[in-house]
Each structure stands twice: as structure tokens, then as C-alpha cells.
Structure 1
Amino acid sequence: MSADPRLEAPVAARLSTLDRYLPVWIIAAMAVGLIGGRLVPGLGAALDAVAIDGVSLPIALGLLIMMYPVLAKVRYDRLDTVTADRRLLLASLVLNWVLGPALMFALAWLMLPDLPEYRTGLIIVGLARCIAMVIIWNDLACGDREAAAVLVALNSVFQVIAFAALGWFYLDVLPGWLGLPQTALDVSPIEIAVNVLIFLGVPLVAGYLSRRLGERAKGREWYESRFLPRIGPFALYGLLFTIVILFALQGDAIIGRPFDVARIALPLLAYFALMWFGSLATARAIGLGYERSATLAFTAAGNNFELAIAVAIATFGVTSGQALAGVVGPLIEVPVLVALVYVSLALRKRWPGPSTATGSTADRASRRRVEQVDEPRRPVEPR
């Protein structure tokens, strides 16, 4: 009986050519977007015009293509092993909705005390917890897919409920208590719910139906050995397409104000590093195995830049400093979290205890059943 093959194989051997050179493709996608947005007349305006209620359709398309293959890999019959792990769920809620926004608030005020627009934009980024790209980073780092699906769904629920209230607290109430300048944030819970429905609900339902109907029609072995390998590369295609579109839309703002971008980047770099390593340390302290530790770290460190940019533009305008801060978010987040994927893979062999998601007897039994299904069947050699 073998362990998860994603953890056993050497990193280089495990990755496809597309995965192995992922940083190269991402840098190239950023460059193509920036150059295209600058050199092709009207490209940015044309892409920006294709939007419904502030949601960019090209970006939405890219994210849907990106998330569907990963969510189609999730074993939905194993989600109960995640929801029963109270340590994981509680740690995720505290890291995402207590520590994350507070840390970004502190870093924004410490590093950008003289730039109120950028500071406000970063605080909005800190409030928008990740529900999209984290799926990709978690899968590349060999995290627990089922745990990622549950934590992303949990974040989406809290995003609808808590985003507006936290925005009011961190931009108006808390600065007032501390004697700092206050800012009003006007955002509708309905807009946030629409954002969650598009970027999470659609690919989640599609992934669930694919597995349910595919296994019912042709069985699990066909679904996992034939269907999933065919759709798998589209996750990274969607990621690269999204990056190209995003940077084409905001190329002028990024290239036109390089010093401002650098100022905004510093607190973001500190935020991603502190959240990721802090979350990993928290996971180790509460006794989680590698897979769920990686999932906890990436879900806590990532942010929903789509929502942050949409809120900043709707509230302060497309040319505002708040919108620029939101745009710089993925400019820093994407390469940093890709680098942390490789850090995570390097740390996995040193992780104490089993690599299973939790140490409970029930979960180990569930894992053993899954591994038996996952083991490739070797052909019987003729005598």
C-alpha cells in the first residue's frame, strides 16, 4: 500500500513540463499582459468594457477555467473527514478573519502612514479572503484537496457575512479609537454574494457534478485515470490567461507609477510571508499533518484580489490609489505564493508525523481506502 504519490515522487519527476516551469510561464504571462496593455491601442479599455455589475467577464472566464479541473478532483465523499476536524476549521477562521485583517491593518499603517489611498486599498485587500487561486497553490503544494474545498467554502460564507462589517470596523471604527484618519467604505453584501457565486459557486457545482456523473457512468477508475488527466492542464491554462488579462487591464497603472508600486509591495511581501509561515507554525503546533498544514497556510495567506479590486473601483474610482493597491496585490501575490509552493514541497519530508491530513483513527482508515483505490493497477505479467 503506497502513500499519496504526490508526496512520494521527487518534485521534478512529479511535475509536468508545464508545472515544472510554472514561474517562467507566470512571469511571461505578466510580461505579455503588461506589454499588450501598453502597446495595443484600446486593449485595456476594450477588456474593461466587457463587464457585468463590475465583474470582468474575461477574468471570470479565466478563473472558472482555472478552478474547475481542481474542484473536479475533489473527493466529495470524504468531506466529512474535514468538517470533523475542529482544529483545522477553528484555526482557519481565526487566521483568516481575526489575524489576517488585523495584520494587514497594522502593516499598512506602519509602512504607508503618508499614503492614505494606498493604505486603504491594502486594508481592503486584507479583508478579502481568498476563494479562487488558493485552489491552484494548494494543489501544486500537494495539500489536501478536500480540506481546501471546505475552507474555501467557509471563507466564502464569512466573506458574504463579515466583509462589510470588517471594512467598517478597520476603516472607520478602529482608526477613530486610535485617533487616526477615518475612511468610509460603501459595499453591498449582495455584490459580495454575487462575487462568491461566480468565482466559487459555479466551478464548485461543475466539479461536483463531473465527479458524481462521471463515476456513475463509467466508474472511479476511468474518471481518475482517463478524465482527470485530460482536464488537468486547463487549470494552469486558466491561471495564465487570468494573469495576462489582469495585467493587460492594469498595465498603465503599474508601469506608470513604479515607485508607488514598490511602496505598496513592501507591506504585501511582509503580509504574505508572515501569514504563510505563521499559519504553517500554527498547524504544526496543533498537530496537523503536512497536507492540511499546507492547505491551512495557503488559504490563510491568499487574498481575493478580484473582490478587493471591484470594491476599490466601485467605492473610490478606477483611477484611485485604492484601486492601484488592489491591482498590485496579485502582482506580488502570484510570484510569492508560487515560490512558497516550492518552499512547502521542500518542507514536506521534514514534517513530523504521518503526511495524512489528520491523525484520527477514522481519517486514517478513510485514507487507506482512498489509497487502495488510487494505487495504479499493474498488469499481470505472463508466466
Structure 2
Amino acid sequence: MTESDNILPPRPAPAKIGFFEKWLSLWVALCIATGIGLGSLAPGFFDQLARLEYANVNFAVAVLIWAMVYPMMVNVDFNSLRHIGDKPKGLVVTIAVNWLIKPFTMAALGVLFFQYLFADLISPAEAQSYIAGLILLGAAPCTAMVFVWSQLTRGDATYTLVQVSVNDLIMVFAFAPIVAFLLGVTDITVPWETLVISVVLYVLVPLICGAITRKWLIGHKRQGESGKDAVQRFEAIVKPFSIFGLLAMVVLLFGFQGQVILDKPVVITLIAAPLLVQSYGIFTIAYAAAWFWRIPHNVAAPCALIGTSNFFELAVAVAISLFGLQSGAALATVVGVLVEVPVMLSLVALANRSKHMFPAN
């Protein structure tokens, strides 16, 4: 046996979260402060933006939401669905948590916190609005940032793509009925037409456009370039627009909500409380189920994280369409952005520290 026989192959370098993603909560916090300041200094400007709408769809919001959502949809590869049966246990956990548990626990926590625990701190109307925003967050599983969380836990990239693709297909058909049911159960009026229009506008159409764009990019890739490289090159070009869309949306929403927040600054903490309980609770359910079912860690970690993370871009868009720019529902969905990143990073660290508890990949 030679000396080289004892040398192990080099381990891949740990995945790194991007600069923007790592400090997302900080950027959101700065944009919150900017929005509140601008809302106080130039309320007329925000009033003009609020009037730019048709059929409950605000044009400024629609442009910003599309800037956020479209680049994510280009990442969805429906060809990955041929791997749907490779590791069925992970997919079962993902679907069960995302569609049979998460929306209902979020609605239950919203009712518990805002109609009982915080009942003396807010009005019944405000409580209903915040509950609506939480329901929208709970019914929208993540489609983009989950790729970052999967990389940070060295998850199975192909199977993470399968999970996201399946979730997006389910979302097209299940999001509106689940939201309508939960809003009805909590005695919130459901404008069905607006809800369906929102799903078509912010999920179905971007998903179709993303699939067409992906196919075109792969068909026109550069010489010596793989299809994946072509998609990643395009993503690098459009990513700044996605970042701008998110931050501009936060400024816009808090510009409309500025006076409410200045009058009741504690409202951010009140909204964050059930979101924190939901996030850590859902992760515990999914991760424990994966451990009990002996799912390999490179599938178990992403399937727990995808259920914990939210498609907040969709939740924000639908909240604005259903309840308006100045609604508590819209505010609740934006607070979800503020809470999500630090929570998800803590869960990534937990998943990495507990890797030894799961079967080898």
C-alpha cells in the first residue's frame, strides 16, 4: 500500500450563502425604516401609487412582484420530475407538511395569538387582518430560498429541485382553495374572484413564462456551455432585479403602513411571535418524521427546511390584492420576510449539527 492509497479524496467546500441572502434581514430592516420615513415625509406620493390599480391589482406592486417571482420560476426544472420516485419518503414528508399540516397550524396559531393571547392589545378588526396575512404565509411554501438552505446542508440538489417542482404544481391548484377555506373558517370574507386572479397572475403565468424562458436558454446555450450553465448565467443577470423588487416592495408597504407602525410599534413583535412558533414547530415535525422514517440527511434536511420557509413574494402579492396595500394582512406578510432569514439560518445550523443522527446519504 502506497502513501497515496491512504489519502482520502478532498471533501467539497462547504456551500456559502450569498452576501445578500446572509444579510437579508438587515436589508429588510433598513428598508422598513426607509419606508416609514418616506411615508411620513411624502404621504401624497404613496396615495398616488395606491390609485394605480385595476381589478384590485396595483400596477406598481404587480411589477415588483413579477421582478421577484419570475427569476425563481426559471429555476424550476420540470424534467426533474422523472426522479419523483427515486426517494419517495422525502417527497411524502414534504407534501404532507406543506399541504396537510402547515397551513392549518399557521391559521390555528394566528387565532390563538390574536384572538386570545393578544386580544387586549389590538382591535378585533386588526386581529382578523393579521390572521389573514399569516394564513397566506402558511399556505405558500418556499420555491427559491430553499435552494440556498439545501446547499448549506449539502442536500441532494436534484431531489430538492424535484420537491420544489412538485410543490409549484400543487400550489397552482391547492393554494386558492386552502386559503379560501381557512379564511372562511376564521370568519374572513373571501373574494374568490380576486384570489383566483392573484394565483393566475403571480403563480401560473410566471411559472409558464419561466418554463418557456428555461427551454429557450437551454436551446440557445453557448458553444461548450451546458444547459444548467446557461440558466445560471441568465439568473446572474436578472437576480439584481429580483433583489430590487423585494427591497422596493418592503419600502412601498411600510410607506403605506408607516403611521400605523409609529402609532403601534409593538405590532411587529406581535406578528413575529406566532411566526416564530410556527417556524420552529414545523421544522421539528418534519425533521422528526424524517428521522423516524430513516431518511438520509441530504434529503431529510431539505424536506424539513422547505416546509419551514415561505413563498413570501406570493403571500405579499395576494395580501395586497385581497385586502389592500395598507392592510394588516400585507404588513403581516412583510414581517414574515424579516423573521425568516435568521430563523432559517439557525435551523440550517441545527440540521448540520445533527447530521450524525441520520443514515448516510
Q: Same fold (TM over 0.5)?
A: yes
**Cα distance in 2, alignment partners of residues 261 and 19 from structure 1:** 21
Q: Which residue in the other structure is 1:202 paired with? A: 205
How many residues matched? 327
2:34–2:251 CA contact under 8 A, matched in 1 = yes
Pair 1:62 & 2:81 matched? no
**Cα distance in 1, alignment partners of residues 72 and 271 from structure 2:** 31
Pair 1:90 & 2:90 matched? no
Instruction: From 303, 309, 315, give the equivalent of 1:298.
Output: 309
Per the alignment, do residues 299 and 266 of structure 1 end up closer, same or farther by CA in structure 2, a change over 3 Å counting? closer
The Cα offsets for residues 144-178 of structure 1, whole Å up to 9 and x where unpaired, read as 2442343244234223223333322232xxxxxxx
Q: Which residue in the other structure is 2:133 paired with? A: 125
Q: Which residue in the other structure is 2:300 paired with? A: 289
Q: Which residue in the other structure is 2:47 paired with? A: 45
Q: Which residue in the other structure is 1:243 paired with? A: 250
The Cα offsets for residues 69-89 of structure 1, whole Å up to 9 and x where unpaired, read as 222122221124348633432
More displaced stretch, 130-139 vs 251-260: 130-139
Q: Which residue in the other structure is 2:6 paired with? A: none
Instruction: From 117, 123, 148, give the equivalent of 2:164.
Output: 148
More displaced stretch, 209-218 vs 49-58: 49-58
1:131–1:199 CA contact under 8 A, matched in 2 = no
Secondary structure of the residue aligned to 1:142 is helix
Secondary structure of the residue aligned to 1:307 is helix
Instruction: From 150, 159, 183, give the equivalent of 2:175.
Output: 159
**Cα distance in 2, alignment partners of residues 60 and 198 from structure 1:** 9
Equivalent runs, 1:168-247 vs 2, <5 Å: 168-171=184-187, 185-218=188-221, 219-224=226-231, 226-247=233-254
Q: Give the aligned residue type for 1:109.
A: Q
**Cα distance in 1, alignment partners of residues 360 and 333 from structure 2:** 30
2:320–2:330 CA contact under 8 A, matched in 1 = yes
The Cα offsets for residues 120-165 of structure 1, whole Å up to 9 and x where unpaired, read as 2233223324677933432332372442343244234223223333
Q: Give the aligned residue type for 2:180.
A: A
Per the alignment, do residues 28 and 140 of structure 1 end up closer, same or farther by CA in structure 2, a change over 3 Å counting? farther
**Cα distance in 2, alignment partners of residues 75 and 305 from structure 1:** 25
Q: Which residue in the other structure is 1:76 paired with? A: 78
- Give the Å deviation of 1:308: 3.4
1:137–1:337 CA contact under 8 A, matched in 2 = no
Q: Which residue in the other structure is 2:29 paired with? A: 27
- Give the Å deviation of 1:296: 1.9
1:33–1:248 CA contact under 8 A, matched in 2 = yes
Identity of aligned residues (%): 20
Secondary structure of the residue aligned to 2:70 is helix
**Cα distance in 1, alignment partners of residues 125 and 137 from structure 2:** 20
Q: Give the aligned residue type for 1:189.
A: W
Pair 1:274 & 2:285 matched? no
Secondary structure of the residue aligned to 2:190 is coil
- Give the Å deviation of 1:262: 4.4
Q: Which residue in the other structure is 1:311 paired with? A: 322
**Cα distance in 2, alignment partners of residues 145 and 169 from structure 1:** 33
Q: Give the aligned residue type for 1:113.
A: A
Secondary structure of the residue aligned to 2:186 is helix
Q: Give the aligned residue type for 1:148.
A: V
- Give the Å deviation of 1:336: 1.1
- Give the Å deviation of 1:343: 1.5
Per the alignment, do residues 247 and 90 of structure 1 end up closer, same or farther by CA in structure 2, a change over 3 Å counting? same
Q: Which residue in the other structure is 1:116 paired with? A: 124
Give the TM-score taking structure 2 as reference length. 0.77
**Cα distance in 2, alignment partners of residues 54 and 202 from structure 1:** 18
More displaced stretch, 268-277 vs 226-235: 268-277
**Cα distance in 1, alignment partners of residues 317 and 232 from structure 2:** 33
Gap regions ≥5 residues in structure 2: 1-10, 152-159
Give the TM-score taking structure 1 as reference length. 0.73
Q: Give the aligned residue type for 2:50.
A: D
- Give the Å deviation of 1:201: 1.7
Q: Give the aligned residue type for 2:315.
A: N
Q: Which residue in the other structure is 1:107 paired with? A: 113
Q: Give the aligned residue type for 2:234.
A: F
Secondary structure of the residue aligned to 1:113 is coil
Gap regions ≥5 residues in structure 1: 1-6, 172-184, 357-383
**Cα distance in 2, alignment partners of residues 235 and 146 from structure 1:** 23
1:277–1:297 CA contact under 8 A, matched in 2 = no
